[in-house]
Amino acid sequence: MGDKLHVMIIDDEPIVGKRLKRLLEKEDFVVETFTRGSLAIEELSNKHFDIIITDLMMGIVDGIQILEFAKTSYPDVRVIIITGFGKKETSEEAFRKGAFDFIIKPFRVEELREVVHRAAKELKAG
């Protein structure tokens, strides 16, 4: 259990969390899901996560805020942004602030899996 990577999934669409949790747990990740950004941040201040998959546009606390918070607390954390519509400026901002990658909805399971594996590989290598 000790070398399992911890993944946090934040999306205000509960289905996304549910499906991805099942998917990633099969791949040997420890997964926690949140539908509210504020709760996720609360959890982040108590606990370390290796990979964060977050939706960009959510109510009060959005994906960019989570990215900033996570990167300040744990510079090594890999943050993967998913969003309902891709705007060039938003993806640029996310990368500038240290996002690992940017996935646009609707995405294929394969697509997400590839990005998460790449992040895991980097983490294990680093």
Partner 1 sequence: MQLKIWHKMIIGISIPALIALFGSLWTYEYINDVKDRHGYVQIADDLRENVLEVRRNEKNYLHYKDTDYFNYLIASINALNRSIKIIPPATIDEIGKNDFLLLNETATNYTALTERLHDNFRQEINSIEQVREQGKKLENYATTGKLSAGLSLNFILNLRRLEKNYMLFRDRDSFSKLDRALFQLKDLIPSCYECIPYVEAVRSLFASYEKSDSVIRELQIAGDNLEETTVRIAQRERQHIAWFFTKTQRFMFMALILLCAIGPLLVYKTASYIVAPIIRLTEITKKIAEGDSSLRAPLKEHDETYTLAVSFNTMLDNLQLTHHSLEKSLELLHEQHMEAEKRASLGFLVSGVAHELNNPLNNISLTAETMKEDLNELSTEELKEHIQDIVTQSERAKHIIEELLDFVGTRKSAVMEKLDIINALAESINLVANQLKVSHIQLKKDIHKIPVFIKGNQNKLEEIFVNIMVNAIHAMKESGELTIYAKPDVNEKFIIIEISDTGCGIPEKELKNIFEPFYTTKQHGAGTGLGLAVARSLVEKHFGDISVRSEVGKGTTFTIRFPLYEEENQGPVAVGRG
Interface positions with partner 1 (CB under 8 A): 12-16, 19-20, 22-23, 36, 55, 57-60, 84-85, 87, 104-109
What minimum distance in Å lies between the beta carbon of 14 and partner 1?
8
Report the residue number, 2 or 106, with the smaller CB distance to partner 1.
Answer: 106
Radius of gyration, CA atoms only, the chain: 13
Nearer to partner 1, 18 or 124 (CB): 18
Rounded CA-CA distance 25/69 in Å is 25
* Closest separation in Å from C-beta 26 to partner 1: 8
Cβ nearer to partner 1, comparing 19 with 71:
19
For residue 14, is the peptide bond before it cis, meaning its omega torsion is within 30 degrees of 0? Answer: no
Minimum CB separation of residue 63 from partner 1 in Å reads 11
HSE value, Cβ hemisphere, 13 Å, CA-based, for 68: 8
Query: Could you count the other beta carbons within 10 Å of the beta carbon of residue 59?
Result: 10
